A and B are shown apart, each in its own frame.
Chain A
Amino acid sequence: MTIDAFLQHLANGISLGSLYALIAIGYTMVYGILRLINFAHGEIFMLSTYVALYGVALFTLPWQLAFLLAILITGLMGVLIEKAAYSPLRESPKMSVLISAIGISFFLQNLGLVIFTGRPKTFPRPDFFAKMYDFGGIKIMSLTFVIPIVAAIFLGILVFLVNKTKMGMAMRAVSKDFETARLMGIDVDKVISYTFFIGSALAAVGGIMWGMKFPRIDPLLGLLPGLKCFIAAVVGGIGSITGAVIGGFFLGLGEIMLVAFFPEFSGYRDAFAFVLLIIILLVKPTGIIGEKMTEKV
């Protein structure tokens, strides 16, 4: 492989990894607080692409505004899903909440099929993201650079929110101990809503850029990326934001490099994530940087 080709794969891997990282954060944050694997997260991701698409195509909003609105609306949808499907089960066994999450996931997929129909739609790609740059023979689209930059900006905002704000401090407290957090006067339900908003909004950021990178979207779009990003979160160490980012990049780069170095395996591209999951569960079940989770009482 030439160095040029390698660099092109590297750029692709980083950009795919950024998308995985953005989506994986939603899994890890919700897990950190509720010890729940939010199986509807892939569907939230899917919905964000349709919201952005309709914003641009149906309401003919400028893309900047449409994308921003899509991020906010998706964040609110995440909050709404939590209120409707998880919050009423707060005192129930974990398994009930998990089943509710799977139910919501199927519900949203099928609702998508009814509303958006099963026929794939083309996601708009504004010119800003579609400029081609020529680097001595290899062509790279501006989107490939924009994705990691946007991801880095949102990750920076997230790190600031979690570590430097009062709400972030409350989130970290709630993730350790609901009851004691209540004794501090923290409104736990509000903190959970914030968590779902942030996780879903980041999934929307990922979803919109996903749509521009792979512009055919359909209502089952969330299934595979959703599973893969869940795997990324587990690989990195579920519950940890840094872990989700590491897992996302690991998975994105791994997938691209697998195909790059072993073209004969390109049919197994999607299997890479699952093999990785099996290996990590065998070798280090807590994930790359995962800490031991003590059961909350």
Chain B
Amino acid sequence: MLLKIENLNVHYGGIHALKGINLNVEKNKIITLIGANGAGKSSTLRAISGLVKSSGGSIIYKGEDITTVKTTEKVKKGITLVPEGRRVFANLTVYENLLLGAYLRNDKKEIESDIEYVYSLFPRLKERVWQHAGTLSGGEQQMLAIGRALMARPELIMMDEPSLGLAPLVVKDVFNIIQEIHKQGMTILLIEQNANAALNIADYGYVLETGKIVLEGPGKELAENEEVKKAYLGS
């Protein structure tokens, strides 16, 4: 097991956002978390990457308890997060954004070849290397955000709603890319509002409701589940 979460709790002031969730992420799998707004999906990823402090429970990564480890250290250990809303550095060029993804690495040559690899995944980025990231379209920014996360050479890549606010055609591209990097051996923990698309590519899925996991199972099975269909798939 690459990542094992046990009884994770998160509080924001008086709000109990995560009420003891258990979650397993197996190596080389796509795992998805679905649920409505405010169900605690983002909080889960933010707690795993250390951006918010958990108020209970444990996060075990490769057999090591990393619950209280700092974000920087987690990146070093191979956990990276593509944040919600893309959050590219608008005042930096596309190239600089990619370099920042490799901030903790010092192998210049390898970094350059990884940048070439990112360009091969996203040819559009190559055309815009010297542009400020703020001038990119939403879809391009999402690609840059994913490319930037890949630059850290992570083992686990977490994505917070990568399809949010994108045109349907671009959403399709993004899901293709997710499958593409998965094929190359990446483990992916994916959050989506677009439950249908997410469950279709996921090996395993969890359904979150007001801070609790209410349902789990293989992606295809969840997609067929009547309750899930009613609540999230709109049929």
Q: Which residues of A contact B (CB under 8 A)?
A: 166, 169-170, 172-173, 175-177, 179-187
Assuming A170-B103, A180-B87, A183-B75, what are 6 further A-B pairs, CB within 8 angstroms?
A176-B89, A179-B87, A180-B89, A181-B100, A185-B71, A186-B72
Q: Of A175, A176, A184, which is within 8 A of B75 by CB?
A: A184
Identify which of A172, A182, A187 contacts B89 (C-beta below 8 A).
Answer: A172
Which of B49, B51, B75, B100 has its CB near the most chain A CB atoms (within 10 A)? B100
Residue contact B100 to A182, C-beta cutoff 8 Å: no
By size class, the interface of chain B is 20 to 34
Say yes or no: A184 contacts B91, CB within 8 Å: no
A180 and B83 contacting across the interface, CB-CB below 8 Å: yes
* Closest A residue by C-beta to B99: A169
Query: B91 — which chain A residues lie within 8 A by C-beta?
Result: 172, 175-176
Roughly how many angstroms separate A186 CA and B97 CA in the complex, as a whole number? 13
Query: A172 to B72, Cβ gap below 8 A?
Result: no
Give chain A residues whose Cβ lies under 8 Å from the Cβ of B223: none
CB distance from B149 to the nearest CB of A (A): 8
How far is B138's CA from A244's CA once the two chains are assembled, in angstroms? 33
23 A-B pairs whose Cβ atoms sit less than 8 Å apart in the complex: A169-B96, A169-B99, A169-B100, A172-B89, A172-B96, A173-B89, A173-B92, A173-B100, A176-B91, A176-B92, A177-B87, A179-B83, A179-B87, A180-B83, A180-B87, A181-B100, A182-B50, A182-B51, A182-B72, A183-B83, A184-B152, A185-B71, A185-B152
CB distance from B77 to the nearest CB of A (A): 10
Say how far A159's CB is from chain B's closest CB, in angstroms: 15
The docked-state distance in angstroms from the alpha carbon of A187 to that of B92 is 18
A166 to B96 alpha-carbon distance, docked (Å):
10
Interface pair B83/A186, CB less than 8 Å apart: no
Q: Please give the distance in Å from B179's CB to the nearest CB on chain A.
A: 23
Query: Given the complex of chains A and B, what is the CA–CA distance between A71 and B75 in angstroms?
Result: 35
A170–B80 Cα gap in the complex (Å)?
A: 17
In the complex, are the beta carbons of B96 and A187 less than 8 A apart? no
Do residues B75 and A185 form an inter-chain contact, with CB atoms below 8 A? Answer: yes
Q: Which 7 A-B pairs have the closest CB atoms?
A: A185-B75, A185-B104, A180-B87, A182-B71, A184-B103, A184-B100, A185-B103
- Determine if B90 and A176 form an interchain contact, defined as CB atoms under 8 angstroms apart: yes
The CA-CA distance from A172 to B100 in the complex, in Å, is: 11
B162 contacts A by Cβ under 8 Å: no
A162 → chain B closest CB, angstroms: 11
Q: Once the chains are docked, how many angstroms separate the CA of A286 from the CA of B108?
A: 39
Min Cβ gap A296→B in Å is 11
Decide if A185 touches B89 in the complex (CB within 8 Å). Answer: no
**Does B35 make an interface contact (CB < 8 A)?**
no
Closest to B133 in A: A176
Closest to B76 in A: A185
Contact B51 A186 (CB under 8 A): no
Cβ-defined partner of B100 (8 Å) among A170, A175, A179, A187: A170
Residues in chain B near residue A186, CB distance under 8 A: 72, 100, 103
What's the least CB distance linking B211 to chain A, in Å? 22
CB distance from B101 to the nearest CB of A (A): 6
In the bound complex, how far is the Cα of B71 from the Cα of A186, in angstroms?
9
Chain B hits for A176, CB < 8 A: 89-92
A137 to B87, CA, bound (A): 61
Q: How far is the CB of B88 from chain A (nearest CB, A)?
A: 8
